[in-house]
């Protein structure tokens, strides 16, 4: 019997990785246009766009696994606790409790970081440990440094030494876990991990070999994903001749999404910036 249905799993990954990639790409182009249209680049515009989307998908994969594991924890009966502490400007990847035990997890995709990154990660983990150990009962607090991918353990010795140091200093139970070890520790079995692995393999079969640059393939869906971007982003994208001719025409080759945006801007034309955008886009499309 499934713990989570595949459709829920699939929707989490598609939303976190693909749906949020389009607005992030357009924002990145508007904020640093010469990364995409500058002369001194080893790749052409399509190459840079593909590179950006592929990198974005990789980063978003980590976020998708955060959302996924939180969903599994909720299904398994754990109470999800606040993750963001604004006074300290700290975000905790997983924060939950069950049976009078409070857990926090620093979650990463894989243990393959260089020396500076691994030290930065440990410093960040210790800041969260320090915060939570001050406001909660240390005897019931458990900290976990967790890597989703169980096959790469480049810095395992370093992390274990650092966690041992912190455990002695803070008197808090700490663990370094990889892959299935998280669910072995929490639930005493790997049923959740086996399901995640099976679903992920199935989901990967539906993913194209390289990112899709034609955002017009599903124009309505693209429109709903990007329509609420800050209008200043659209203004940059649609008023800069180089950006429009070299980038926008690649992403929206059929103009379907642009027509939907034009109509949307027209509906909001009482607001000056949207009236400007409507006129600019109408001119571009024509």
Domain count, the chain: 2
- Are 154 and 222 in the same domain? no
The DSSP-derived string for 197-265 is: HHHHHHHHTTS-SS----GGGGHHHHHHHHTTS-HHHHHHHHH-HHHIIIIIHHHSTT-HHHHHHHHHH
**Residue 19 — very low, low, confident or very high, per pLDDT cuts 50/70/90?**
confident
The DSSP-derived string for 19-83 is: ITHHHHHHHHHHHSTHHHH-SS-SS-HHHHHHHHHHHHHHHHHHHHHHHHHHHHHHHTTPEEPP-
φ, ψ at 206 (rounded to 5°): -95, -10
d(C-alpha 74, C-alpha 94), whole Å: 11
**Residue 167 — very low, low, confident or very high, per pLDDT cuts 50/70/90?**
very high
Question: What is the pLDDT at residue 177?
Answer: 98
Residue 166 has pLDDT above 60, yes or no: yes
Of 55 and 251, more confident: 251
Mean pLDDT of 123-142: 90
φ, ψ at 67 (rounded to 5°): -65, -45
Q: Give the chain's mean pLDDT.
A: 92
d(C-alpha 24, C-alpha 57), whole Å: 11
Domain assignment present for residue 36? The answer is no
Beta carbons of 81 and 135 less than 8 angstroms apart:
no
**Residue 41 — very low, low, confident or very high, per pLDDT cuts 50/70/90?**
low
Any bridge partners for residue 143, and if so which? Answer: 104, 174
- Are 107 and 171 in the same domain? yes
Mean pLDDT of 96-109: 95
Using alpha carbons, select from 110, 79, 108 the residue that is nearest to residue 95. Answer: 79
- Are 120 and 173 in the same domain? yes
Domain assignment present for residue 68? The answer is no
- Are 146 and 99 in the same domain? yes
Query: Could you say which of 130, 153, 179 is where a domain stops?
Result: 179
Domain assignment present for residue 32? The answer is no
- Are 175 and 223 in the same domain? no
Domain assignment present for residue 41? The answer is no
**Percent of the chain whose pLDDT exceeds 70:** 98
CA angle (170 as vertex; 164, 176 as ends), nearest 5: 35
For residue 244, what are the domain limits? 217-286
Domain assignment present for residue 54? The answer is no
pTM: 0.83
Domain assignment present for residue 1? The answer is no
Question: What's the maximum distance between 2 C-alpha atoms anywhere in the chain?
Answer: 69
Domain assignment present for residue 38? The answer is no
Q: Which residues of 159-173 are buried (b: 16+ CB within 10 A; e: fewer)?
A: beebbeebeeebebe
């Amino acid at each position: 019997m499934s713990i989570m249905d595949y459709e829920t799993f699939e929707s989490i990954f598609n939303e976190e990785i693909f749906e949020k990639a389009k607005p992030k790409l357009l924002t990145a182009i508007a904020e640093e246009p010469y990364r995409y249209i500058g002369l001194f680049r080893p790749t052409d515009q399509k190459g840079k766009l593909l590179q950006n989307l592929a990198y974005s998908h990789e980063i978003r994969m980590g976020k998708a696994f955060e959302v996924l594991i939180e969903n599994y924890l909720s299904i398994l009966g754990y109470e999800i606790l606040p993750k963001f502490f604004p006074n300290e400007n700290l975000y905790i990847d997983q924060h939950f409790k069950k049976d009078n035990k409070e857990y926090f997890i620093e979650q990463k995709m894989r243990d393959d970081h260089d020396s500076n990154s691994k030290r930065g990660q440990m410093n960040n983990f210790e800041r969260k440990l320090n915060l939570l150990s001050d406001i909660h009962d240390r005897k019931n607090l458990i900290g976990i440094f967790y890597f989703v991918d169980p096959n790469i353990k480049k810095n395992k010795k370093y992390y274990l030494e650092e966690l041992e140091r912190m455990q002695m200093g803070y008197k808090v139970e700490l663990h370094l876990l990889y892959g299935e070890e998280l669910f072995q520790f929490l639930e005493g079995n790997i049923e959740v991990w086996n399901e995640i692995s099976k679903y992920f393999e199935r989901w990967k079969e539906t993913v194209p070999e390289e990112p899709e640059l034609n955002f017009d393939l599903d124009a309505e869906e693209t429109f709903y994903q990007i329509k609420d971007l800050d209008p200043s982003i659209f203004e940059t994208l649609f008023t800069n001749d180089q950006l429009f001719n070299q980038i926008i025409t690649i992403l929206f080759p059929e103009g379907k999404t642009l027509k939907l945006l034009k109509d949307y801007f027209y509906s909001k034309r009482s607001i000056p910036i949207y009236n400007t955008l409507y006129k600019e886009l109408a001119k571009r499309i024509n």
